Amino acid sequence: MYLKGGRSLLLQAQKKPRIPVFLSDDANSVLGHSGKPRADETQVILHESDVARRLSRDPDVSSAFRFFESVANGGLFRHTRFTYEVMVKKLGREGEIDAVQYLLQQMKLEGIGCGEELFVEVIDSYRRVGLVEQALKMFYRIREFGCQPTVKIYNHLLDALLSDGRFSMISPVYSNMKKDGMEPNVFTYNILIKALCKNGRVDGALKLLEEMSNRECLPNSVSYTTIVSSLCKVGKVEKGRELARKFGPYLSVYNAMIDGFCREHRFEEAFRLFAEMVDENIDPNVITYTSIISSLSDAGHVELAMAIFSQMSVRGCHPNIYSFTSLMKGLLLRRKIHEALDWWDKMIREGFLPNIVSYNTLLHGLSSNGSMKEAVLVADQMEKNGVPPNSTTYSILIDGFAKSGSLVGASEIWNKMMFSGCCPNVVVYTCMVDVLCKNKLFDQAYSLILKMVEDNCPPNLVTFNVFIGGLCDGGRIDWAIKVLDLMRKYGFSPDIITYNQLINGFLKVGRLTAAFEIAKEMKERGIRMTIMTYNMLFSGFCRQGMLQSALQFLGEMVVRGTNPDAYTYNMLTHAYCKQGKFKEAIRLWEASTEAGEWQPDVTAYTHHIWGICNCFGMEDAVICLHNMINKGISPNIVMWNLLVRNFFNGMGSLGPIHILDDLIGNG
């Protein structure tokens, strides 16, 4: 904390002012108006409780600190461990670490030992300001301050390391704890279990659970909930369910299980657990309901999510802001913007002020639906309502403008972010690279990638893929190949997205051989080709009229376990028709549709009707048209042009006027 003059509390304390500025009534009764001891007072008469109460009640940490120094410097009171503890706690909660260190040193000089509670507070203070490594260093000096390590102190230190993600430091500290002869308690084990789970070592956490039982330290609901939740997150829901049965019916464990089933969209099992909770007389809470509402919304079952929301209210469980936000997310995913905004208004009417999560959810929904004007208005409103945008907010807006191709809109948001002092993260940078590429500003996009490195925010694989994709779409395929070297320099290997973009780029400029060289490199690197890769290469053969090679490639594709999809069949049908091999196209249609391998779309029907017109005539073509319409597929303008052209071309020989009547009737 800094005063108006710019000096820290510690610097002020080192001046050791002799005259107290802010004193309580207790202190004033001893000091005269001049701030000096009265002549008739020769001994300290302030009591520990008076000083502690005055320090605790003062809302201003600066004022409290000056009082703390004044009574000591004025000879009115000799501070005790308790008053030091009160002052250190107050400073620590305000993040005044320099002043905390100064007081610890004072205690050491005065020979006042530091108790367990005080040292715990010191560790927590370091954690709050993100100086966990310094807390560890302070712990190793604990005996200098007249304090002995205890299980409680170790627990707070381990928890601080966990909260800062210092997993590698936890094991040595735990080993040190055992060397000190400390027996871990349930809190110690829960911290270790959480650390293992966060580090992806759920099996290690399960072993620790066994160790607890062997040491007669019974696991509690926190132990089981942590592991069950972690098992569910890595897809081991059944194993989590088995473990949950061993522990018994607890709300937090049920919530973890329900969330696990919902993550996998196994809603039947989730609802069965929900019913089981009721049978066990365990009332579902807002976390239970919100977990279900959120998963249903993500899966597109927004109507069911709304029914659960209503049931929650009927059962007397009040929704929170995340319940509303989850429901709005589902509506926005279904493009029901007006309904989502109605729920937004309802949320505010019920007294919930939107937070950064709800604002970002609304912004993402509006941006995804192309409503960028409304999104910008919401972003302006959130600032007016005291919710400053974060990097996620800016990335949503920039990405929205990027998708709409608006360089001006994206640039305005970027400049606004820079002006606000919010540092862009890799997602924001990548969105900006994307919008520059969409506007063919490749030099600027490349410069931005170099700036990412300068700003200590190095590009990731997604950034490079966005840049390579932009170059390929813009016909700058040779530059895209060079970017691979830069990509590898930063430790990233091309993935399937990278290779697919390069193959597509080479095919766009007619370099089929180069495209196959990329595919060959993919195989050598052990990257399996997807249906998209096969279709791109297959279409390359077809477009070049290399039908025999295309068929051989199709055979290889099937042998390797990738079945053709609608695009493959459409491309092959088109290739046959283009070469005048209409009978082959019709045979392909009949064989694939009868086998159930293909559900033709309007494009496939257009090619098929083209073949029928050329092989059999208009009457058969119109029969095929009727079949198509009966299947719910509407003809498009291309098909109508094809039919009308063939009708007039065949008037001399085909002529029946009822065919034209059929065409007009279906139109």
Q: Which domain holds residue 278?
A: 186-282
CA torsion, points 12, 18, 21, 27, in degrees to nearest 10? 130
The predicted structure's pLDDT at residue 417: 87
Q: In the block, which residue shows the tokens 């709300």?
A: 251
Distance CA 578, CA 569 (A): 14
Is residue 326 within 8 Å of residue 294, measured between CB atoms?
Answer: yes
**Long-range Cβ contact pairs of 79-83 (< 8 A, separation 24 or more):** 79/51, 79/110, 79/112, 80/48, 80/112, 81/107, 81/112, 81/113, 81/114, 81/115, 81/118, 82/48, 82/52, 83/48, 83/51, 83/52, 83/55
Q: Is 22 helix (H, G, I), strand (E, B) or coil?
A: coil
Contacts of 598 (CB under 8 A, 6+ apart): 564, 566, 569, 592, 604
Is residue 625 within 8 Å of residue 643, measured between CB atoms?
Answer: yes
Distance of CA 286 to the CA centre of its chain: 22
CA dist list (Å): 68 to 55, 95, 126, 145, 247:
7, 18, 22, 20, 51
Distance CA 503, CA 537 (A): 8
Q: Is 37 helix (H, G, I), strand (E, B) or coil?
A: strand
Residue 657 lies inside a defined structural domain of this protein: no
Contacts of 618 (CB under 8 A, 6+ apart): 643, 646, 647, 650, 654, 659
The mean pLDDT of 361-371, rounded to a whole number, is: 90
Confidence of residue 9 (pLDDT cuts 50, 70, 90): very low
Distance CA 113, CA 118 (A): 10
Distance CA 196, CA 185 (A): 17
Distance CA 130, CA 93 (A): 13
Q: Is 249 helix (H, G, I), strand (E, B) or coil?
A: coil
The predicted structure's pLDDT at residue 561: 79
Q: CA torsion sign, 146 to 150 to 152 to 157? A: positive
User: Of the ranges 29-38, 235-244, 608-617, which one carries the lowest mean pLDDT score?
Assistant: 29-38
Distance CA 662, CA 111 (A): 105
Burial class (CB in 10 A: 0-12, 13-18, 19+), 667: exposed
The mean pLDDT of 215-219, rounded to a whole number, is: 82
- The tens digit of pLDDT for each residue in 287-309 reads 999 999 999 998 889 999 999 99
Distance CA 626, CA 610 (A): 15
% of the chain surpassing 90 pLDDT: 16
Is residue 324 within 8 Å of residue 347, measured between CB atoms?
Answer: yes
Distance CA 249, CA 388 (A): 42
Residue 605, pLDDT > 80, answer: no
Q: Pick the residue with more confidence: 445 or 99?
A: 445
The predicted structure's pLDDT at residue 572: 77
What CATH number corresponds to the domain at position 230? 1.25.40.10
Helix (H) or strand (E) holding 121: helix 116-128
- The tens digit of pLDDT for each residue in 40-51 reads 444 446 788 888
Residue 247 lies inside a defined structural domain of this protein: yes
Distance CA 80, CA 72 (A): 11
Distance CA 360, CA 429 (A): 18
Is residue 586 within 8 Å of residue 608, measured between CB atoms?
Answer: yes
Q: Pick the residue with more confidence: 6 or 548?
A: 548
Residue 87 lies inside a defined structural domain of this protein: no
Q: How is residue 2 annotated by DSSP?
A: B
Confidence of residue 468 (pLDDT cuts 50, 70, 90): very high
Give the other-Cβ count within 10 Å of 278's Cβ. 11
Q: Which alpha helices (DSSP H) does 234-349 contain, by range?
A: 237-247, 251-263, 267-279, 286-298, 302-314, 321-333, 337-349
Q: How is residue 459 annotated by DSSP?
A: -
Q: 504: which 2 tokens?
A: 């597509």
Residue 467 lies inside a defined structural domain of this protein: no
Among the listed residues 513, 434, 500, the one whose alpha carbon sits nearest the alpha carbon of residue 467: 434
Residue 123, pLDDT > 60, answer: yes
The mean pLDDT of 347-362, rounded to a whole number, is: 92
The predicted structure's pLDDT at residue 17: 33
Residue 373 lies inside a defined structural domain of this protein: no
Provide the mean pLDDT of the chain: 81
Distance CA 542, CA 546 (A): 6
Residue 180, pLDDT > 60, answer: yes
The predicted structure's pLDDT at residue 596: 66
Distance CA 466, CA 667 (A): 43
Q: Is 8 helix (H, G, I), strand (E, B) or coil?
A: strand
Distance CA 171, CA 169 (A): 6
% of the chain surpassing 70 pLDDT: 89
Structural domain count of the chain:
1
- The tens digit of pLDDT for each residue in 44-99 reads 467 888 888 888 888 888 888 888 888 888 777 888 888 888 888 888 888 888 88
Q: 56: which 2 tokens?
A: 């605790």
Q: Pick the residue with more confidence: 243 or 498?
A: 498
End-to-end CA distance of the chain: 77
The predicted structure's pLDDT at residue 650: 59
The mean pLDDT of 323-333, rounded to a whole number, is: 92
Q: How is residue 19 annotated by DSSP?
A: S
Residue 254, pLDDT > 90, answer: no
Residue 326 lies inside a defined structural domain of this protein: no
Residue 250 lies inside a defined structural domain of this protein: yes
Q: Is 31 helix (H, G, I), strand (E, B) or coil?
A: strand
Distance CA 20, CA 5 (A): 19
Distance CA 187, CA 165 (A): 18
The mean pLDDT of 262-289, rounded to a whole number, is: 87
Distance CA 249, CA 277 (A): 8
- The tens digit of pLDDT for each residue in 373-418 reads 899 999 998 988 889 999 899 989 988 988 887 889 889 988 888 8
Residue 665, pLDDT > 70, answer: no
Q: Pick the residue with more confidence: 396 or 12?
A: 396
Residue 108 lies inside a defined structural domain of this protein: no
